[in-house]
Structure formats: C-alpha cells, structure tokens
Structure 1
Amino acid sequence: MSVLIQISDTHFGTEQPQVMAALMSLVKQQMPNLVVLSGDITQRAKPAQFQAARCFMDSLQVPFLAIPGNHDIPLLNLWSRLRNPYARHIAAFGAELEPVYSSPDLLVICVNTTRAWRHRHGEVSASQIARVADVLSRTSAEQLRIVVVHQPIAVTRAADAIHLLRGHAEALTAWSAAGADLVMGGHIHLPYVLPLSGFSRPMWAVQAGTAVSSRVRSSVPNSVNILRWGGDAAMGGCHIEQWDFSAEESHFAIAKLTEIRTQDHKHSQQTKMPLSMN
C-alpha cells in the first residue's frame, strides 16, 4: 500500500509548537511514502519562515514535494515580488516549482498556480494544462493519478467561490480526459472531499485544512489528509482520511474517512465517520 500525507497552509510564522509536535508524531507513526505540501508554506515569505519550514520538513525524514502558495511570494517588497518572486522559496526548497513524483502505483504532479501580479488568486495557464495532461496521458493503469494545486478547483460554500482557481474548468476538462483521479488543493483552510461531475471520467477534489497554523477557520481545527492506495484498498479503491488536531489530547485523530473508486473499476464514493476517535 502507498501512503501519502497532504499538509497545507502551514503559514510558518504563525505555527503552533504543540500542533507541529503532534504532526511529527503522526508522520512517524504512519510512515508515508510521500508528503505533499500544497502551498502557503509561510505567512509572509520571510527567509526565517522558509528556513523554519524546511527544517520541519527535513525533520519528518520522508520524501516530500512542495509548491508555493500566494503567501510564499513577498507581499510588501514590490521589487522582489515582480522581479524575483520565488527566490526565497527556491533557496529553501530548490529550483523546481512544479515537482513530480512517480512510483509503480502513484503519480503526483504539482502545478504552481501563484502569479506575482495577483494578491491571493491563483491561475493555471494553457501551457500548464497541456503539460499536466501530457504527463497524465503517459501513465499506467496501476497508478493513482493526482494533480496538486494551491487554490481550490471546487468549493462547498458560496462564499469561497471567489477563491476558485482561474482556468479550473479548462484544466479539469483536459486533465479528466488525460486520466486524472484526484486534484488536491488548500488555500481556504477547509478540508473536504468533493466528487466532480460533468467530465469524461470521475474525479474528486481533495482539499486540506491548515496543518499547523493558528490561522484556523471558525470551528475548523488544524487538519491533514492521509491517502491510502493499494493493498487493502485494492481493486481501484482509494481511502482518503481527514485527521483533525485535538487540543485537549494534543494529537491528531481520524475524523472522517472517504472511500472512492477510480475509473478503471466501479465508480462510487462513501464517506464514513470513524467508529473511534482514538
């Protein structure tokens, strides 16, 4: 079985030490094949914040992919924002802004949806859509195919529609035709798994909450997603677990389980509350 942990919107500079410690324990317990950090790594793109983020990711001692979010571009330094917006991200996480991970049963394609001239809104270009579709079209049927962006490609609340990724409809049409199964995102600090309809194959939006930041939404705790594919989730099954942080217990506990089936098998979705929160 492949295990992937999605963490998002860490906003280093507003991180909470007790939540970080709990997340580190969870990662060590789960022993994932991959951790995906889906943007807004820092609060204000300061070098010290990027350094703290990189130290934390290194401490997990597992492979990871990281993409920038809108908070990872300098906000007040307009010269840096327009001339070299990713310099600090690159210094901490390397020059590849759109990394790809591939294993026999898992493909993860990251897309940089930030733009220096935008404050918070994201965008996916025609060339990015085509690049991702090309990679997707050359995968094997055994691979679960995941695209990672920062801004959401589907929302559950009307108030969040303003945050939708620009170009998402064109992207989803092309990526569905090319074989995408899941599109992961963050940005709005609200976790959910949402089936997407109207495309050539079933796809799901998988949104993560804020992993360790104090900038939580009202009544929504810190959370991360754990995805399991293969093994017990065989025959095309994928298990997506939402793990919430409990301030009372100082640890992450499973809060919701969503079971889905991919295109190659029966299309279905089932969301369950766990029998136990321990």
Structure 2
Amino acid sequence: MTRILHLSDTHFGTERKPVVEAVLDVARAIEPDLVVLSGDITQRARRGQFAAARKFVQRLSLPVLAVPGNHDIPLFNLFARVLDPYGNYRRALGAALEPVFETPGLLAIGVNTTRPRRRKDGEISDAQIGRVAQRLRQARPGQLRVVVAHHPVRAKEESDLANLLINRERALAAWAQAGLDLVLGGHIHLPYVLPASA
C-alpha cells in the first residue's frame, strides 16, 4: 500500500513548535512513501522562513515533493518579486518548481500554479496541462497517479469558489483522460475530499 503524508499551508514564520514536533511524530509513526508539501510553505517568502522550512524537511528524513504557493513568492519586496520571485524557495527547497517523484507504486507530479504577477490566484497553462497529461500517460501499471498543485481544483464551501485554479476544467479533463487518480492541493486551509468531476 502506498502512503502519502499531505501537508499544505505550513506558513513557516508563523509555526508553533509543538505543532511541528507533532507533525514529525506523525510522519515517523506512519512512515509514508512520500511527504507532499503543496505550497504556502512560508508566510512571506523570507530567507529565515525558508530556512525553518528546510530544517523541517531535513528532520523528516523522508522523500519530499514540494511545490510553491502564492505565499512563497515575495509580496512586499517588489524587486525580488519581479527579478527573482522563486530565489529563496529554490535556495531552500531545490531548483525544481515542478518536481516528479516516482516509485513502482507511485507517480507524483508537481505543478507550479503560482504566478508572480498575481497576488493569490493560481493559474495553469496549456503547456503545463499537456506536460502533466503526457507524464500521466507514461505511468506504469499499478502506479497511483497523483498531481500536486497549490491551488485547488474543487471547493467544499461556496465561499471558496473564487480560490479555484484558473483553467482547472481543461486540466482535469485532460488529466482524467490520461489516467489521473488524485489531485492534492491547499490554499484554502480546509481539509476535504471531493471527486475530481463536478
């Protein structure tokens, strides 16, 4: 059985030590095949916040797939937002903004749905949709096929509909046809499970 520990919106910079320790204890107890960090890893994309996130990832001592969220791009430092929006993220968590993790039982594909020109809304391009669909079609038999993005493709509460990923319907249609099993996301700070189709 494949086990994934999904964490989102950790907002390092606002973390509480007892909560961090509890999450580490859970990770040790369930021994997941993969830990997913689906964005908003930091509160304001500052170096110290990313350093805390990196320390947390190192303490996990498990495979981690991370994608950025809108809080992982500088908000107030406009110079960095324009010239190097993912600089601190890459220094702390690695160069890949759209990583892929694969084992015999799992194919997890990260998608960067953030856009430096947007403050919070997420978007996915046709090129990203196509790249993910192609990779899903290459999955081996028996692999759980998972896409990880920060911005959600479905909402449980009507008030969260405005937070949904732009171009999500095109993405879901293409990915379902390519064999998608599961989409993991965050952004709205509410845990839920919904079918991918409306």
Question: Within 5 A, what are the aligned runs for 1:128-147?
Answer: 128-147=128-147
1:122 matched to 2:125: no
SS at match of 1:196: coil
1:90 counterpart letter in structure 2? R
* Structure 1, unpaired ranges of 5+: 199-278
2:68 counterpart letter in structure 1? P
CA-to-partner distance for each residue in 1:94-138, whole Å, 9 max, x for gaps?
111100011111110000000000000000000000000000011
1:98 matched to 2:98: yes
Q: What's 1:163 paired with?
A: 163
Q: Which has the higher strand share?
A: 1
Residues 153, 196 of structure 2: 8 Å contact kept: no
Mapped to 2, the partners of 1:196 and 1:98 lie a distance apart of 21
Residues 68, 89 of structure 2: 8 Å contact kept: yes
* Structure 2, unpaired ranges of 5+: none
1:38 counterpart letter in structure 2? S
Mapped to 2, the partners of 1:52 and 1:197 lie a distance apart of 37
Question: Within 5 A, what are the aligned runs for 1:1-278?
Answer: 1-197=1-197
Shift of 1:197: 2.7
Shift of 1:173: 0.6
Mapped to 2, the partners of 1:174 and 1:89 lie a distance apart of 29
Higher Cα Rg, which structure: 1
Mapped to 1, the partners of 2:45 and 2:82 lie a distance apart of 14
Identity of aligned residues (%): 53
CA-to-partner distance for each residue in 1:170-204, whole Å, 9 max, x for gaps?
10010011010101100000000101336xxxxxx
Mapped to 2, the partners of 1:37 and 1:161 lie a distance apart of 22
TM-score of the superposed pair, with normalisation by structure 2: 0.98
Mapped to 2, the partners of 1:10 and 1:150 lie a distance apart of 12
Shift of 1:79: 1.4
Residues 67, 112 of structure 2: 8 Å contact kept: yes
Say how many residue pairs are matched.
198
How much is the aligned-residue C-alpha RMSD, in angstroms? 0.8
1:67 counterpart letter in structure 2? V
Mapped to 2, the partners of 1:158 and 1:82 lie a distance apart of 33
Q: Detail structure 1 runs of 4+ shifted over 4 Å in the superposition.
A: none
